[in-house]
Amino acid sequence: MFSRQVFRTIRAATLHPTPFLRVETARNFTGAANDSRPPVYLHGLDGTYATALYTAAAKMSTLDLTAKAIVNLSSVFLKDTKLTKVLSTPRLTAEDKSAIVAELSKHTGTNVATVKNLLQTLAENNRLGHLQGVCEKFGELMSAKRGEIEMIITSAERLDNKTLSRLETAVSKSSYAGQGKKLKVTNKIDPEIIGGLIVAVGDRTIDLSVCARIAKINKVLTDRL
């Protein structure tokens, strides 16, 4: 994961406030001027950065390499759930950000310029805390390009591969998955649901969580009292 030196500089920045570095201009990492429109339109800041990354990669014919690098970065967030909070620390110096970008670059597993430029742009604009969201949005763009449907399974604890495979098979045979569509399965962890599952396929959601059941029971009790 991150080296001790990186965490040391972050900790020092938190304990000893420094002026908040503001960079008003973003690095232009969109590449050549040919038309490479993304398959779907995404909203929000994360979506904007993800769309710019997709466009740049498409123009440079490095979509597959970029996608691989983004998947590798996403795995870093899965291993360290506190990473986004660390990256969102508002008092990081330029030196701190440079060290973080260098460390993140090591985890991409590739030397692709688009991802390097993305990390530098996020650092310059004090947006490193958005990196996880950008990775997720970029994944949505790649899924749309491949004709995949996003299937997000939220559980209180991480599910094993066998369970995920069984759920994927069950949903793929149901009306929730369109005919001929591939499912892209993601397991998100949320201890607040207590137990059970929340399965989201595209814009449809099946809430089988313990938290939802408790909420329903509470509503029934409240309505009757």
pLDDT, tens only, 191-224? 999 999 999 987 788 899 998 888 888 888 787 7
Give me the residue spans of the domains in the chain: 4-143, 147-224
Q: Convert 55-89 to b/e letters by CB count within 10 Å (16 or more is b).
A: bbbbbbebbebbbbbbebbbebbeeeeebeebbee
Do residues 86 and 16 make contact, with C-beta atoms less than 8 angstroms apart?
A: no
How do 204-209 and 196-201 pair as beta strands?
Answer: antiparallel
Taking CA atoms, 75 is separated from 135, 143, 195, 206, in Å, by: 10, 17, 24, 26
pLDDT, tens only, 142-193? 988 988 888 899 999 999 999 999 999 888 888 777 666 788 898 999 999 9
Instruction: Give the Cα separation of 8 and 66 in Å (integer).
Output: 30
Which pTM does this prediction carry?
0.63
Do residues 13 and 91 make contact, with C-beta atoms less than 8 angstroms apart?
A: yes
